[in-house]
Structure formats: structure tokens, C-alpha cells
Amino acid sequence: MEEVLESCREGFLNISGQDLLFSRDFTKEEFSARRKNLAGRIGKGAHMLVPSAPPQPGHNPCQDASFYYLTGLELVHSHLLINGDDGHCTLFVSTRELVDGVDADKLGYEDADLIRDRLMVDEVKPTTDLTTALSKVKKVYVPFAELEGGGVTRGIANMCAAAREQAEWDGAEPTHKRLIRKLEERFPGIVIENANGFIGDLRRIKTPSEIKLMRQGGHLSALIMIESMKATKVGMCESRLEAIARYIFASYGNCDLGYGVIAASGKRIVNGHYHFNNQTLEDGEVVLMDCGPDLRHYSSDIARLWPVNGKYSDWHRKVYGFIVEYHKVLLKMLKPGPCPADIYVEAAEIMRHGCKNNLFECGDMSELLDFMVERGIRYYNHGVGMSVHDAISPWRDGPLEEGMVIAVDPMVTIQEKSQYIRVEDTVVITRDGCERLTGAAPFEMNEIEELMKQPSEFGNI
């Protein structure tokens, strides 16, 4: 783990402000290849326009995921224009004056030669030239989506924008709709199509560079689980577990949360998106913790469940133990080729055989298995990448492919006990199986109980 964490630190340590505005994780050749791929997909006679994030209050504005995916650039109020005829790419960027800091840390169209060389784009122009360039465009693809980044998934961003648009005393126009309206107003007759499918399909398969970065994020998340288990004790507040997560993300990754930390205990774990983290850990309860980073635009997803007093109850040993066995079966069956739906059927049969033949320490849990199968939950839950619920093209109905990164998350809710029992890992599909990117954190009960006996540097915070 230490080697991966050291690599994580190298991504930010002692780097100048201007260099921080460029990606350190991907080469200019990789960004160029992504843009050329999209140019080929949209075809001749079409262009793709991808906007960056707009200016935001504060010193750490987030970048839009799709814009970063294609440029690696942290500048706001910029636009990328890709020509489907020949792959010609023009980057329209704002002035240096919109970048906070001293002059040496700034970047803008005044630095066109530097940006062109660092990103392998054909031209770099000021944003004021965008109107002229678009006047010649007949058909343009733009993302029909709100800003995805800074720990906000595209789904949540779109949902919030729609709620504001429909609110009687707000009515704010979603950002992507405003862009479409302005294009239609300024260029009558222009054909506007949705770019999400093309970009999402490209983002679905992760490159080795992306996997390397996500491996770092996975280790950060696993370290948080390990240290939180060691620090847990009766009488402490859930917020201390969240504090450990924030400290490790900041200290080792110079990054923030990829989503809100869930540090639920007792009956509060039944709330799948609990975030208050303000209750006292009580003897006899369990903790369900779920967190992930926003590490240079990439996240991970992990969940672990452990006893507050260091010893699982008989009931949790049965139910959580069963979920652990299910998790291991689902992991073992991952490889390129099979469809998730077919794996679910086979996994259920393996679990049923194990229950009937007393192969699991938890005993015969056939009744619980039937309950889970009847609900039809997809335990290969969602894609993971530039956000924890990655905005990629649909994948669940097709075969798994090498390079896909997904969350494996068998779960069951027992309402009468207010318990939501699960174990989750982020995995990448490899040539002949899978790699658990969050696998450094134990999920076996005996391992967790032994780990909780160890001292923690966070025990007195």
C-alpha cells in the first residue's frame, strides 16, 4: 500500500500553480487520442462542442468531467471544438485574469503556445473567437448534461437542475439548456445533437493510466476503512470517523470527498444515504461506513461494516457473514465475456448450493437468499470513474469487458431490525478476472475483529 500512496503524493507534491492547471496523470498523446476517437465517431460534416465548468466562487473551482477527460485542463470558461471532418481541435480559453493567484500561477489564451504544446491541440484561441468559429458549423454535438465534478455526479446535478427549473420561485434555466438556446438563437438552422452517448461510450473502458489513478484512490479509501476500524470505540461520535476520512484524503491525496461520507451506526445504517454523522457509537451496535475521494477527477467506492465493541453479534455473524460469502462469489465470477444478468443467476445457485450443503460458516441462509433473489437487485451496482456513479454508456445488459470499472455491492435491508447489511468494493475487469482496487481493506469478520485490537493514531482525536 505504501508504494501506491507514495505515487499518490507525487501527483501534487511541490508542483507549481501553473502546472497544477494541467493533468499530471495522462499524457498529451492520450488526450489527443480521445479527441481523435470522438472526431471519428461524430463523422464528417459535424462538430462537437464541449464546455468547461463556469467560474465559481471560492479558491478551488471544480472542472467538468467531460471537458477534463478530453483536455486535462483546469481552466474555467473554456470550450473545446472538435471538427469531425479532419479531427482538427481548437481550444477557446479565457484570459489569465480569471485565474486566481500570482502571475506565475496563471494560465490563459495569452499562453497559447504553451497550452498547444502541452495538450497537442491544433489551435488555442480566446473565447471571444468562439462565435466566429461556430458561425461556420452546420451540425454540432454538445453534452445534454449539467456540470459533473467536484464530488457531484451527473445524475445528481441533472436532478437538482431540473428541480430548480420547475420550482415556482426559482425557475433557473439548466446550464446545458441555456447553451442550446444560445446556439439556436445565434445560429438559426444549426442542428444540435446530444454528445453524451459518444463521450459516455469512450469513458466506459478505462485506460491503464486511469486504472493507475483509480488504484491510488482505492487505496486511500481502503486506508480510511482500516484506520476507522482501529479507531472505533464505544462512546465516540460518528463525526470522528468522517474526520479520519477527510484527514487521509487531504494528507495523502491533497483531495476532497468524492461524495458525502456515510458513517452510520445502530439503526441509522438502514438509511442508505445517511450523512448527519452526529450520533454516539453505542455498545452492541455496528458501523456502516462508505466513502470515496475526488482524486484528480477520479473516485472509488467502498463500504465496510464492523462492530462498535470489536465483536460481531451472533445475528450479524450470520447475516453479514452471508453477504460476505455472496460478495466473494460475485468477485470470483467477474471476467470479460459474461453478462451481469447471467452471473446473478449462476451466483444465486452457487449460494443456494452452499447453504444447503453447510459450506458457509453462517449456516443455511436459504430464506434470506430467496428474499434477495426475489428483489432482483443488481449487485454489480454501477460504473465508477470520474464520479462515483460514472456517467458512462449503458453496460449492464451487455457482456463485461476488460477495462470496465464497477462497484460490486451485495446488500440486503432487514426493515424489522433497521439494518442495511452490505459490503462493497470497486473492481476493474482484467483479462482473466478482476482486481479489487479497494481490496486492501478487509471484509472477513475474523480479520476485522483482529484489526480492531490494534492501536490507532486517530484514537484520541
Q: Is 197 among the domain residues? A: yes
SS3 140: strand
Q: Select from 78, 85, 26 the least CA-distant residue to 49.
A: 78
Q: How confident is the model at residue 45 (pLDDT cuts 50, 70, 90)?
A: very high
Residues 200 and 247 in one domain: no
Flag whether pLDDT at 59 surpasses 90. Answer: no
Residue 392 contacts by C-beta under 8 Å, 6 or more apart in sequence?
Answer: 200, 201, 203, 204, 383, 385
Distances (CA, A) of 173 to 54, 152, 156: 15, 19, 16
183, 204, 225 — which closes off a domain?
204
pLDDT at 72: 97
Residues 226 and 348 in one domain: yes
Percent of the chain's residues with pLDDT above 70? 99
The CATH number that applies at residue 82 is: 3.40.350.10
Q: How far apart are CA 77 and CA 95, in angstroms?
A: 9
Residue 456 contacts by C-beta under 8 Å, 6 or more apart in sequence?
Answer: 227, 230, 231
pLDDT at 12: 86
Flag whether pLDDT at 112 surpasses 70. Answer: yes
What's the domain count of the chain? 2
pLDDT at 461: 58
Specify the higher pLDDT residue, 248 or 61.
248
pLDDT at 2: 77
The CATH number that applies at residue 447 is: 3.90.230.10
Q: How far apart are CA 208 and CA 402, in angstroms?
A: 11
Q: Is 458 among the domain residues? A: no
Q: Select from 365, 56, 59, 33 the least CA-distant residue to 205.
A: 33
pLDDT at 460: 63
Q: Is 457 among the domain residues? A: no
Q: Is 119 among the domain residues? A: yes
Range of the domain at 31: 2-204
Strand ranges, E, within 52-205 = 79-83, 89-93, 123-126, 139-142, 191-194
Specify the higher pLDDT residue, 59 or 434.
434
Residues 157 and 223 in one domain: no
Q: What is the mean pLDDT of the chain?
A: 95
Residues 199 and 224 in one domain: no
Q: How far apart are CA 408 and CA 375, in angstroms?
A: 17
Residues 220 and 233 in one domain: yes
Residues 37 and 135 in one domain: yes
Q: How far apart are CA 312 and CA 315, in angstroms?
A: 8
Residues 187 and 304 in one domain: no
Amino acid (one-letter) located at 403: G
pLDDT at 458: 85
Residues 174 and 226 in one domain: no
Mean pLDDT along residues 59-81: 93
Q: Where are the alpha helices (DSSP H) in 333-444?
A: 340-356, 366-375
Residues 314 and 424 in one domain: yes
Residues 264 and 328 in one domain: yes
Q: Is 460 among the domain residues? A: no
pLDDT at 274: 95
Residues 288 and 145 in one domain: no
Q: How confident is the model at residue 253 (pLDDT cuts 50, 70, 90)?
A: very high
Residues 123 and 251 in one domain: no
pLDDT at 35: 98
Query: pLDDT tens digit string along 130-153?
Result: 999 999 999 999 999 999 999 999
Mean pLDDT along residues 161-176: 97
